[in-house]
Amino acid sequence: MNRLFTIAKNTFTETLRQPVYAIIIIAALLLLLISPSFAMFTMSDDNKLLRELGLSTLFLASLFIAIFSASGAVAEEIENKTIMTVLSKPVQRPIFVIAKFLGVAAAVVLAHYICTIGLLMAIRHGVLESVNDTHDWTVLTTAGVALLSAFLLSAFFNYAYDWKFSSTAILLLALFGSLGIVFLAFIDRDWQFAPQNNGINSLDVWGSVLLLLAALVIVALAVALSTRFNIVVTLSACIGLFLLGLVTDWVFGRFAETHLWAKICYFAVPNLQVFWISDAIYEESQIPVRYIVISATYALCYTAGILAIAVALFQRRQVG
């Protein structure tokens, strides 16, 4: 367990230090910031479109972080020959694969959490549907203070202690963002204590949880592919599986009852449509807890099966 924790911790740290990790988070937060402006051009249901735009941004950000981070988790170590040093110690190959998955998954969870806070703040602010609507300065001030505090403290720690600026900023942003969303849960747009008017909907929280499950499935797929293929092939395959997973019901599901090949593909390809709640948003219906449990069980079983395949593929891989 000590070796598992050490490798997972190192993988988590390396993932946080990758430039693409910070770039995707910054891009996602910027898109969430301007999403209320995009959603105001509909004839009706502006806030529903805001929710869908926000969840789409969150979905893509988490999945691209999962793909880019996990695809190089094993492949880079094989190409750089650093894996030989690790495996020369008493570290079993299954432990190495599982630790890599856990490290990347932790980084994906952190990024998803930060973007979820940005999503909840954007939804809390809402769309300015008429000229009489005003900005929610409680949200804007809280978000600005969190971003500025994380930036200034990261710059200080980088100057004083030579800490990595990007990874420190991400961790501090998660901390100050958490404090900010807790503050907004109790303070309304008029700076009054009114938890009943916090604008935080359980539908958005459950939607974020479901998208996180989809991202973890992609992490497992990327780790499995990286045990045998280089980064380019792994990236291409993961993006292809991601796109196929969004339309698997239409591509394979309608033929599953009559064709064996379609039934096999339907069960083999991850059904990412399960984790998307667009229908619930437009129908204004709640997501039952039973659906969350079933989806989480599906994601857990699929992830466990893919990791088992990853261990089997890596068991006889020549790394020397």
Domain holding 64, by residue range, is 2-128+194-315
**Could you write out the three-class secondary structure of 35-88?**
HHHHHCCCCCCHHHHHHHHHHHHHHHHHHHHHHHHHHHHHHHHHHCCHHHHHHH
Q: How far is CA 269 from the centre of its chain?
A: 19
Main-chain phi, psi angles of 163, to 5 degrees? -75, 150
Cα dihedral 210, 216, 218, 220 sign:
negative
Q: What is the pLDDT of residues 158-209, one digit of tens each?
A: 999 999 999 999 999 999 999 999 999 999 888 998 888 887 888 888 999 9
Name the percent of the chain lying above pLDDT 90: 41
The DSSP bridge partners found for residue 187 are 193
Q: What is the pLDDT of residues 95-124, one digit of tens each?
A: 888 999 999 999 999 999 999 999 999 988
Q: Between 202-226 and 46-79, two packed helices, what is the crossing angle to 10 degrees?
A: 20
The DSSP bridge partners found for residue 193 are 187
* In a domain? residue 205: yes
* In a domain? residue 182: no
**DSSP one-letter code for 319:** -
* In a domain? residue 172: no
Q: What is the pLDDT of residues 78-90, one digit of tens each?
A: 777 777 777 677 7
Contacts of residue 144, defined as CB under 8 A and 6 or more positions apart, other chains included, come to none
DSSP codes of every residue in 175-236: HHHHHHHHHHHHB-TTS-B-GGGS---HHHHHHHHHHHHHHHHHHHHHHHHHTTS-HHHHHH
- Closest by Cα among 212, 209, 206, 245 to 62: 212
CA gap 52, 35 in Å, rounded: 10
Contacts of residue 64, defined as CB under 8 A and 6 or more positions apart, other chains included, come to 24
Most confident residue range from 35-49, 64-78, 246-260: 246-260
Number of domains in the chain: 1
* In a domain? residue 188: no
* In a domain? residue 174: no
* In a domain? residue 272: yes
pTM to 2 decimal places: 0.92
CA gap 222, 125 in Å, rounded: 36
* In a domain? residue 180: no
**DSSP one-letter code for 17:** T
Q: What is the pLDDT of residues 248-284, one digit of tens each?
A: 888 888 888 888 888 888 888 899 888 988 777 777 7
Looking up tokens 């990236």, which residue turns up? Answer: 235
Q: What is the pLDDT of residues 214-228, one digit of tens each?
A: 999 999 999 998 888
* In a domain? residue 14: yes
